[in-house]
Amino acid sequence: MAEDFVIEMLHITKEFPGIKANDDITLQLRKGEVHALLGENGAGKSTLLDVIQGKIAPLRGRVKIGQTVRFGVLSQQLEELEPYMGDTIREVLSHYKKYYVIDGKETSPEKLCERLGFTTQQLWSRIGDLSGGKRRRLSLLLTILDEPNVLILDEPGNDLDTDMLAIVEDLLDGWPGTLILVTHDRFLMERVTDQQWALLDGHLTHMPGGVDQYLRLCNATAEGEP
């Protein structure tokens, strides 16, 4: 693998029942790049994310993951929080470092919790008692505290109101590593990502025209244009 690529996917084909084949996908991710992945439900986005991480082997092609890659994943269903449902937020944070450097400034996990809308009193709440939005914010925070260099976020805006989305956008805007974002939130996508890709009819297509290009292609497909 060339040193400037953290992940290379070359001529990938993968197919599952009910999901269209991801046919001959080639994708190269460099350090620090921020990519968005577009596609309708059932297009194969989650499957592609699993292939990128090496969780699923392709039927054809190869996936090369850099030796220094550390994945951090925020899933739609927040499975990563399941082991902590009986713990309080403060108990979980105690397993992490006392200080982190975020946006060039030293801060603590507790301060980051406050930034994401948690009060000091709420730090004593059990994770199993939190609302969906609070769980998503906490899961995002824990993912960042794990200090990955490749961050995969699958619909991070679910369950979040407008004000909290703006805070999450600010946090992601300063993310120093490689980021792969799946979201239906156009504003979030256009603000924090540099390049957009779309899964259309099983093919991964670069969208230099962004969401507008993707929508035009979707409309053309729906109208039966070649």
- At 180 the pLDDT is 94
Q: For residue range 162-209, what is the model confidence (pLDDT) as tens digits?
A: 888 888 888 888 778 899 999 888 888 888 898 999 988 778 889 999
pLDDT at 117 over 60: yes
**Residue 63 CB neighbour total at 10 angstroms:** 17
pLDDT at 2 over 50: no
Long-range contacts at 87-96 (CB < 8 A, ≥ 24 apart) = 87/126, 87/127, 88/123, 88/124, 88/125, 88/126, 88/127, 89/113, 89/118, 89/122, 89/123, 89/124, 89/125, 89/127, 89/138, 90/123, 90/124, 92/127, 92/138, 92/142, 93/123, 93/145, 96/142, 96/145
User: What percent of the chain has a predicted confidence (pLDDT) above 90?
Assistant: 43
**Comparison of pLDDT for 178 and 219, the residue scoring more:** 178
pLDDT band at 16 (very low <50, low <70, confident <90, very high): low
User: What percent of the chain has a predicted confidence (pLDDT) above 70?
Assistant: 91
pLDDT at 50 over 50: yes
Alpha helices in the chain (DSSP H): 45-53, 89-93, 109-115, 132-145, 162-173, 186-192, 210-222
Mean pLDDT of the chain: 86
| Tokens at 146, concatenated | 């794990």
- At 35 the pLDDT is 94
Can you tell me the distance from the alpha carbon of 7 to that of 197, in angstroms, rounded to the nearest whole number? 15
Q: Which of 107, 121, 117 is nearest to 138 (CA)?
A: 117
Residue type, position 219, single letter: N
- At 88 the pLDDT is 97
pLDDT at 17 over 60: no
- At 21 the pLDDT is 54
Q: Which residue has the tokens 């105690």?
A: 94
pLDDT at 84 over 70: yes
Residue type, position 168, single letter: V
- At 219 the pLDDT is 84
DSSP class of residue 204 equals: E
Q: Which of 22, 78, 71 is nearest to 45 (CA)?
A: 22
